[in-house]
């Protein structure tokens, strides 16, 4: 008869370490003010662990001690990887449902870019070339500003807000440098860009292995398991696109290590956000991968770019290099037609009606602008 195999156990040292982190979170929550908390929640392993521990702490408190509101905030760029955004939506629903049942002061929130600042409105409407390393126009508009606006509003109405981030020193050398710069030896650090916002990084000293180990051995307090998270990483073969809260975080957005970013991302040479999912069997996303590659391929084709920038100026650098303007109106129309064709093929919405309406307004303005330039040139 075969003997039962010993069950794997969590390292007791890790249990003690996380116990200390929970005590820190609890002490900060119970400190003598009521400034709301915001958990930056990307759906990745680090922010999931922070949400998990915060939820644990709230559950451990008596109802009268749960005075501080906790906002679990995710950002949807509207061009997120479909599997990642649906994973976040599922988690939001689970957290919301459990928080309601336990009467915890938790709100789940999704921020989005301003209607005039989405990927499609800039790419198809204004004809911006797809972002690359030297012209990465997307991160600030689509990721930093929406969440910053939310934090700022909350800080303005409450006097101060505390932002909990799942950043860790061991993530990368860039991250370690950022963390070191924020380190003031206190539990809370002032946010570099946002007034009245303090940053709390409860898991800053955990390693990647420790985060995974803790999540593997401890189901989320809102119910279910972290299995879907493990599966998501396995399918993507992945590093994640982290919660981006300031320019300091942006090197990792759209970097070769980011695989949970926008599916349209052309900052990486080869798409990794969706290609991994396609390889893992999600063949239905193949058109998105092909579209992204096509977008990258037309970026620098001279015939697809206007000579003048949108302000009417011709740009020639001091070294005599001509910098072309935005995509031509024909190319913008072609991109929109391709997006609509993909929607039909895939049976899912990829661009919102409001975005298409805004794009058509911008096209009308640009067409009259081009007519005015042509008339000016013809009249000498």
Q: Which has the closest alpha carbon to 128: 306, 316, 287?
A: 306
Choose one: 139-147, 285-293, 298-306, 340-348; the region binding ligand SF4 (CB under 6 A): 139-147
CB of 74 to ligand SF4, least distance (A): 14
- Per-residue b/e over 312-349, b at no fewer than 16 CB within 10 Å? eeeeeeeeeeeebbbbbeebbeebbebbeebeeeeeee
Among residues 132 and 369, whose Cβ is nearest to ligand SF4?
132
Q: How far is the CB of 255 from ligand SF4 (least distance, A)?
A: 8
CA torsion 326-138-258-38 (nearest 10°) is -170
Residue 243 beta carbon to ligand SF4: minimum distance, rounded to whole angstroms:
12
Residue 288 found at the interface with ligand SF4 (CB under 6 A): no
User: Nearest distance from residue 109's CB to ligand SF4, in Å?
Assistant: 19
For residues 189 and 198, the answer to whether their CB atoms sit within 8 Å is yes
Compose the 141-160 pattern: x for residues touching ligand SF4 by CB under 6 A, - for all others. -xx-----------------
With binding defined as CB under 6 A, does residue 78 bind ligand SF4? no
For 89, the token pair is: 């939506």
Among residues 138, 144, 238, 239, the one that binds ligand SF4 under rule CB under 6 A: 138
Cβ nearer to ligand SF4, comparing 166 with 261: 261
Task: Provide, rounded to whole angstroms, the least separation between the CB of residue 143 and ligand SF4.
Answer: 5
CB-based contact 78:118 (threshold 8 Å): yes
Please list, in sequence order, all residues whose beta carbon lies within 8 angstroms of the beta carbon of residue 206, skipping any fewer than 6 positions away. Answer: 17, 21, 49, 168, 170, 214
Q: In angstroms, how far apart are the furthest CA atoms of the chain?
A: 97
Assess 236 for contact with ligand SF4 (CB under 6 A): no
* 253 interacts with ligand SF4 by CB under 6 A: yes
Residue in 108, 94, 97 with CA at minimum distance from that of residue 229: 94
Q: Which stretch binds ligand SF4 (CB under 6 A): 31-39, 193-201, 224-232, 260-268?
A: 260-268
**Residue number, 69 or 140, with CB nearest to ligand SF4:** 140
DSSP-assigned letters across all residues of 306-319: -SS-TTS--EE-TT
Please select the residue that binds ligand SF4; options are 254, 276, 324, 325, rule is CB under 6 A.
Answer: 254
The helix or strand, by DSSP H or E, that contains position 106, with its residue range, turns out to be: strand 106-111
- Rounded to a whole number of angstroms, the minimum distance from the CB of residue 205 to ligand SF4 is 27
Where do contacts with ligand SF4 occur on this chain (CB under 6 A)?
77, 131, 136, 138-139, 142-143, 241, 253-254, 261-262, 264-265, 267
């Amino acid at each position: 008869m075969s003997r039962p195999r010993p069950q794997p156990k969590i390292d007791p040292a890790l249990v003690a370490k996380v116990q200390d982190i929970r005590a820190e979170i609890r002490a900060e929550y119970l400190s003598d003010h009521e400034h709301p908390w915001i958990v930056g929640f990307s759906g990745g392993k680090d922010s999931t662990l922070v949400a998990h521990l915060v939820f644990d702490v709230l559950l451990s408190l008596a109802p009268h001690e749960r005075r501080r509101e906790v906002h679990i905030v995710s950002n949807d760029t509207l061009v997120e990887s479909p599997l990642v955004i649906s994973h976040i939506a599922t988690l939001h629903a689970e957290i919301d449902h459990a928080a309601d049942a336990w009467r915890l002061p938790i709100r789940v929130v999704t921020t989005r870019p301003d209607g005039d600042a989405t990927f499609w409105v800039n790419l198809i409407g204004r004809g911006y070339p797809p972002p690359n390393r030297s012209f990465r126009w997307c991160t600030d508009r689509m990721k930093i500003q929406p969440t910053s606006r939310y934090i700022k509003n909350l800080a303005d109405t409450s006097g101060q807000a505390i932002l909990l981030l799942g950043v860790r020193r061991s993530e990368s050398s860039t991250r370690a440098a950022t963390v070191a710069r924020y380190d003031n030896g206190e539990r809370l650090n002032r946010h570099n860009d946002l007034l009245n916002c303090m940053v709390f990084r409860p898991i800053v000293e955990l390693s990647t292995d420790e985060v995974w180990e803790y999540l593997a051995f401890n189901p989320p307090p809102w119910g279910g398991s972290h299995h879907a998270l493990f599966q998501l990483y396995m399918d993507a073969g992945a590093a994640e696109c982290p919660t981006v809260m300031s320019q300091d975080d942006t090197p990792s957005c759209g970097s070769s290590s980011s695989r949970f970013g926008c599916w349209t991302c052309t900052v990486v040479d080869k798409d990794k956000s969706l290609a991994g999912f396609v390889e893992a069997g999600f063949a239905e996303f193949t058109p998105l991968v092909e579209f992204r590659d096509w977008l990258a391929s037309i970026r620098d084709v001279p015939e697809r770019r206007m000579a003048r920038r949108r302000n009417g100026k011709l740009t020639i650098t001091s070294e005599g290099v001509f910098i072309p303007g935005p995509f031509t109106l024909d190319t913008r129309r072609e991109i929109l037609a391709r997006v609509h064709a993909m929607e039909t093929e895939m049976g899912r919405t990829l661009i919102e009606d409001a975005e298409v309406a805004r794009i058509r307004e911008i096209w009308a303005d640009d067409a009259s602008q081009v007519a005015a330039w042509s008339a000016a040139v013809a009249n000498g």
